[in-house]
Amino acid sequence: MARTTRRKSVSSAGGLMLAPAVIAMRMPLLLAEANSKAGSGPESARMVSEKMAAMAAGAFAAQASLMKAAFDFWPQAMSGRMPSLMTGEAQKRALDAASVPFGKAVSANYRRLGRKAV
C-alpha cells in the first residue's frame, strides 16, 4: 500500500475515533432540545443533515473508486497482473474512500462542539 493511501486511511480512521466524544458533546445539546417546548432544534437538524451529506459523499467516493478499478481491469489483466477487482484491493480502496467523508464530518463536529463547550 502506498504511503499516501495509508496516511489517508489512518487519518480518516482517526476522525472516526472521535465519534464517541462527539456523541458525548452532543448529548447535553440534544437533551436541552428535547426538553424545550419548541421541539427539535438546530443541533438535531444539523446532525441529521450532516449524516445524510456524509453518506451521499461516501457512496459517491466508493462508486468512483470501484469505477476506476473497473476501468483498470483489462489493462491490469493484459499486463499479466492480477486485477485489483479480483484480489479485493479495489474493495478495500472503495471502503477507505467511503470512510473519508465520515471522518472529516466527525473531525469538524469535534472542533465545532469543542469550541461551544469552552
Query: Tens digits of per-residue pLDDT, 34-89?
Result: 777 766 678 778 888 988 999 999 999 999 999 999 999 998 888 988 888 888 89
Distance CA 24, CA 31 (A): 11
Nearest to 19 by CA among 96, 108, 97: 108
pTM of the model: 0.72
Half-sphere exposure of 59 (CA within 13 A, CB side): 6
**Residue 105: how many other CB atoms lie within 10 Å:** 21
Structure-model confidence comparison of residues 80 and 7, the more confident one: 80
